[in-house]
Amino acid sequence: MDEGFIEQMGERIAYVRTAGTGPGVVFLGGFMSDMTGTKATALEAACRAAGRPFLRFDYRGHGQSSGRFVDGTIGAWADDAILALDRLTSGPQILVGSSMGGWLMLLAALARPGRVAGLVGLAAAPDFTEDLMWNEFPEPVRRTLLRDGVWNEPSEYGDEPYPITLRLIEEGRRHLVLRDTLPIACPLRLIHGLQDRDVPWQVSQRLLEHIDATDAALTLVKEGDHRLSRPPDLARLVDTVTALADQAAAELAEAGQPPDGPGAGSVAAIADSPSR
C-alpha cells in the first residue's frame, strides 16, 4: 500500500493505493464525504485479500486534499477523478461511485471509455444539483442563492451544514447526463435503498433507462437507506464489485489479453497523460 498526493494546477489530491493484479477498483466518494468511509475501506480490504488493485482518493475540498469545499464544482471533481484514474492506475478499472460519486463515475467513463471495464453505483445521484437541489428548492432558498451566491443546507449527517453555491448548480448544468441517451457501453450495476430519503431510487431507474449498456442491472434494497453501510450492504457491495471485476478478467483472458488489459504498463508510463 502506498499513499500520498498527486498535484495539478496547484491542487493536491490525496490518495491511498493498494497494489495487485488484474482489473483494478477505484472508489469515488460522495458529496462532502472522504476516502476513510466504511464502503471505501471495506472494498479496500476485500481487494487486498484478493490481490486486486484498489484506489481511493479525496476530491479537492474533501478530506486530506487541498482546496475549499465551497469552491468545488461537478466539473472540478470529475477532473479530479479522471486525474486519479490517469495517474494512479493502469489497465481496465471498475469504478465504484457512491451518491455524487455515481455521477462522477459516469463522467469519467465518458472521458476514458477505454479504461473503464465496469461501473457500480451506490445510491447513484447523477444530475442531483439540478433535479434534487434547484428543482426542489423552495422559492426563498432560490432567492437566497441568487442574492448571496450560497445557501447553507442543514445536514442530518453532521453538525456542519452543507454550503450549496449557485456556482455549483450553474456549473453542474454543463455535466447533466440524464437528459438524453448516455453513450456508455460497459457493464453497469446499481444498488439503491428503498428507504433512501436523499436520492430517490427512481434516479437509478432513470439511469438504467438512459444508458446504452445492455449488461445493466438495478438491485433495490428494501431496508436500505442512502448510506448503504450496514454489514449486509457492505457484503452486497463487495460481492457485486468482485463479480464484475472477475467478469472483466474473464473477458480479457478469453480475448487472449493479460489480466491488466491490453498494453497495460506501469503507472509511471501514464503519469503525464492529461486529465481530460
Active site residues: 99, 196, 226
Query: Which residues does residue 248 pair with via DSSP β-bridges, in sequence order?
Result: none
Planar angle of CA 111, 113, 119, nearest 5 degrees: 100
CA 61 – CA 49 distance, rounded (Å): 31
**Can you tell me the distance from the alpha carbon of 190 to that of 240, in angstroms, rounded to the nearest whole number?**
9
CB 190, CB 208: distance < 8 Å: yes
* Contact criterion met (CB below 8 Å) for 94 and 78: no
CA distance 216 to 227: 22
Residue whose grid cell is 469545499? 69
Give the containing element (helix H, strand E) for 45.
helix 38-50
